A and B are shown apart, each in its own frame.
Chain A
Amino acid sequence: MKLKQLEGYLGDVAAFRDPKVQLEQYPTTAHLASRILYTAESSFGDIDGKSVVDLGCGCGMLSIAAAMMGAKSVLGIDVDEDALEIAQENIGEFELDDTVDLVKASLCAEAAGSGDERLALNEDLVLPMQRKFDTAVLNPPFGTKPGNKGIDLLFLQAACTMVEGAVYSLHKTSTRDFLVKKAQSWGFDCEVLAELKFDVPMMYKFHKKKSVDIEVDLLRLSRKNEQ
């Protein structure tokens, strides 16, 4: 499939009807999703015939893009019932019921401590999925809302735990050095595939400007050879 073709199809993926501030539900655009999945397949062969997991799948944009690029099996996980309902409708519209599964679950658990270290990985969900997928794709919450601090890192850690191969994820450029070090400590190499301007439209009351540009990296993390 050509890139333009993929982007064109993905234009029909319905977005959040009523985005939730606390869950940092910014839609992944067709433009962005098509480029991520097209690159993952054409440059790295990480999608066609593979099993893919999409963390914080929202309305299913990345899951659908993965299936359209030839993923054999896709699992989308999200905590929000309303988003999953739209995702299920989208998957039906695209006739991808044979390829994409959805699960309602949280990647995070409340940690024992308090303050900034409030969130921990939900091991009951993540550990049974350890290295069960070839590839992960995700557009995680950036962790900028109070109470969400560190959630971007948790999503990335969950993704790294679940894959045998590579992880594609979007993160604020300001966190790059930190994430590269973290990736190393998990046994992954981290490469910046693209620097993007993330145009977050005015969806929430606290956005005073019409839209805010955030600098975002598209990262590819790949498991180092284990000898």
Chain B
Amino acid sequence: MRLITHNMLKCHVKNCTDPNQQFPLRFKDVQLEQIEAERNDEFLVRMLPRLDWPALLTTSKELGYSLPQSIPENPQDKDEFLQALHTFILETHVKEGSMVCNGCSHEYKITNGIPNMLLAEHEI
């Protein structure tokens, strides 16, 4: 799973204790892998408004990556910014580990790169 996908996942537990803490899910004991991908600036700029930037920023700090506090003006001309964004959301893969909800502490396992968002009967 790449971080562009993680940026769209929130806790699925019904009556999760605090709705404001359901997102982003916090990574725990993760194994990361960088896989090179071709950079496409037009794509990155188009995705910008669809990203939850504060959540992405939180995740980047957690994993030790550096992104600017906010999206710069004229992002299409900012080579350094686009490279950092590309590396973080499209080239950084989470292979193993889990994602934890900061609200209800539910843990979603990631196995072989696939996060499991399904809940057991009693958690629904």
Contacts and interface: CB of A to CB of B under 8 A. Distances in A.
B20 to A, nearest CB: 14
B117 A49 contact: no
A72 B115 contact: no
B53 to A, nearest CB: 14
Contacts, number: 72
B8 A128 contact: yes
Contacts of B50: 131-132, 164
B116 A104 contact: yes
B40 A125 contact: no
Interface string B42-72: 1100110010000000000000000000000
A162 to B, nearest CB: 9
Interface string A89-103: 000000001110111
A97 B93 contact: yes
Contacts of B36: 98
Contacts of A125: 12, 117
A105 interface: yes
A102 B47 CA distance: 19
Contacts of A88: 112-114
Interface in A137-194: 164
A102 B118 contact: no
Nearest to A134: B46
Contacts of A128: 8-10, 23
Given A106-B118, A132-B50, A124 B11 contact: yes
A73 B90 contact: yes
A135 to B, nearest CB: 12
Contacts of B42: 49
A100 to B, nearest CB: 10
A99 B47 CA distance: 15
A103 B35 contact: no
Contacts of A39: none
B100 interface: no
Nearest to B124: A110
Nearest to B40: A72
A51 interface: yes
B43 A72 contact: yes
Contacts of A132: 8, 50
Contact of B2 (A81, A101, A106, A109): A101
A86 to B, nearest CB: 12
A129 interface: yes
A122 interface: yes
Contact of A104 (B10, B23, B35, B114): B114
A77 to B, nearest CB: 9
B85 interface: no
Given A104-B116, A128-B23, 8 more contacts: A73-B4, A79-B118, A88-B114, A102-B113, A103-B5, A104-B114, A106-B117, A109-B124
21 contacts: A49-B42, A72-B40, A84-B114, A85-B112, A88-B113, A97-B35, A97-B93, A101-B1, A101-B4, A101-B113, A102-B113, A103-B1, A103-B9, A104-B114, A104-B118, A105-B116, A106-B118, A128-B9, A128-B23, A129-B8, A132-B50
A-B interface, 4 closest residue pairs, ranked by CB to CB distance from nearest:
A105-B117, A98-B37, A124-B12, A101-B5
